[in-house]
Amino acid sequence: MEVRIKNLTKRFRNFVAVNNLNLSIKDGEFVALLGPSGCGKTTTLLMLAGIYKPDEGEIIFGDQVVNDIPSKDRNIGICFQNYALYPYMTIAQNIAFPLKLRKIDKKIIDNKVKEIASSFHVDSLLSRFPNQISGGQQQRVALARALVKEPKILLLDEPLSNLDSRLRISMRAEIKKIQKDLGITTVFVTHDQTEALSMCDKIAVMNKGVLQDFGTPEELYNMPKNLFIAKFIGNPPMNFMDVVYIRENGKVILKEETFQIQLPEEIYKKFEEKQNGKELILGIRPENMKLTSQEENTIKGEIYVVEPLGRDKLVNVKIGNDKIIKIIASQDYKGNMGDKVFIELDLDNIHLFDKENEKSLRINI
């Protein structure tokens, strides 16, 4: 089912939790609401669920405005962060509960519970209670309960946050596979950008109640529209340096106190012109830099610390007095603390942001 959000606003007294939000989610799409704590993502989900009522705007499921429709009549499935399983009910009873509320025949309920329990690999646990199964199993039971009534829309509120890191990775894959198999429109709230990037078709990045951008994981990672998105998405995070854009004698140079980088014409044409003399922020991801022996058009620094990450190494390089730049190097890199090094930038993958409004200067976004 298609979901449209039009000019949605929610206030709590004088605090604006969600401010004029507009989103269009296609039928069968898996969409994340991503952002830090307090950005409005859970408030948005609870408005979709009918738990909160918007102060302004419309929520449309298909062709129907659902603002005044009770949660129980919206044909949605919800899975919360704490799973919300009833401790005094068996797993079978927990899964069956939404169907019992609809007063469906017991035989039909039993068949549906067995069928969906098998799909989620919890069919051997049906006689147990929630405190007798693991966190990952509780997660699957909560999803089975949300989906047993065959809802048109699935709402997930940080369902992986209580799991350990290893189980999170496996559950990310399971939830993505289930969503694709069912083809159900899904809205997934998370503060973890790795979850959003790896699981979802599109991501709505939010900050302070305001939508920053809505796009595919590739679009948000490779072409962030503003400094907030560039800082929030990526692990290790993007590196940032204050520079001055200088254009003279047909050349374009990004100048900082300790270095200057000349941009070829095919590179600076990717950015808005008329920046001469303006203070900008240069951004570049750790994987788009490399350590080299050449001095020309590079940044000179000193290795601060090397962090082995298994398949590669994260090299922290100090430039100037206190600025640390992070660079991903190969596993066999032999640099040591205190070594003098030169950093070469992949100029095709640099980002420039206006220091005042923090917007990207790329003209092909």
* CATH classification of the domain holding 303: 2.40.50.140
At 168 the pLDDT is 81
User: For residue 229, what is the DSSP state?
Assistant: H
- At 111 the three-state DSSP class reads helix
Strand blocks (E) in 146-277? 153-157, 185-190, 202-207, 210-215, 239-248, 251-255, 260-263
At 136 the pLDDT is 83
268 lies in the same domain as 312:
yes
User: What is the phi/psi pair of residue 124, to 5°?
Assistant: -85, 0
Own/partner long-range contacts of 118-124 (Cβ < 8 Å, ≥24 apart): 119/144, 119/178, 120/144, 120/178, 122/91
Query: Which residue, 202, 232, 262, sits at the end of a domain?
Result: 232
Domain that residue 30 falls in:
3-232
294 lies in the same domain as 154:
no
156 lies in the same domain as 271:
no
At 363 the pLDDT is 84
At 223 the pLDDT is 95
222 lies in the same domain as 288:
no
Residues 6+ apart with CB under 8 A from 185: 1, 2, 3, 25, 26, 27, 28, 29, 152, 153, 154
At 18 the pLDDT is 98
Q: How many whole angstroms separate alpha carbon 79 and alpha carbon 162?
A: 13
Looking only at Cα atoms, what is the longest distance across the chain?
83
Whether 343 and 298 have beta carbons less than 8 Å apart is answered as: yes
209 lies in the same domain as 333:
no
Which regions of the chain are under pLDDT 70?
Answer: 364-365
At 186 the pLDDT is 96
Query: Which residue, 232, 265, 291, sits at the end of a domain?
Result: 232
At 364 the pLDDT is 66
Is 298 among the domain residues? Answer: yes
58 lies in the same domain as 199:
yes
Is 359 among the domain residues? Answer: no
Query: Which residue, 196, 215, 232, sits at the end of a domain?
Result: 232
At 359 the pLDDT is 95
Q: How many whole angstroms separate alpha carbon 323 and alpha carbon 16?
A: 36
Q: How many whole angstroms separate alpha carbon 196 and alpha carbon 229?
A: 13
43 lies in the same domain as 168:
yes
* CATH classification of the domain holding 135: 3.40.50.300
207 lies in the same domain as 268:
no
Is 326 among the domain residues? Answer: yes
Q: How many whole angstroms separate alpha carbon 292 and alpha carbon 340?
A: 10
**Exposure string over 149-161, b if 16+ CB within 10 A, otherwise e:** bebbbbbbbbbbe
Q: How many whole angstroms separate alpha carbon 232 and alpha carbon 42?
A: 18
249 lies in the same domain as 224:
no
Is 361 among the domain residues? Answer: no
At 139 the pLDDT is 85
64 lies in the same domain as 149:
yes
User: What is the phi/psi pair of residue 100, to 5°?
Assistant: -65, -35
At 120 the pLDDT is 83
Query: C-alpha angle 189/354/255, rounded to 5°?
Result: 125
At 160 the pLDDT is 82
Provide the number of structural domains found in the chain: 2
CA 168 to each of CA 36, 92, 135, 221, 311: distance values in angstroms, whole numbers, following the listed order: 19, 24, 10, 22, 20
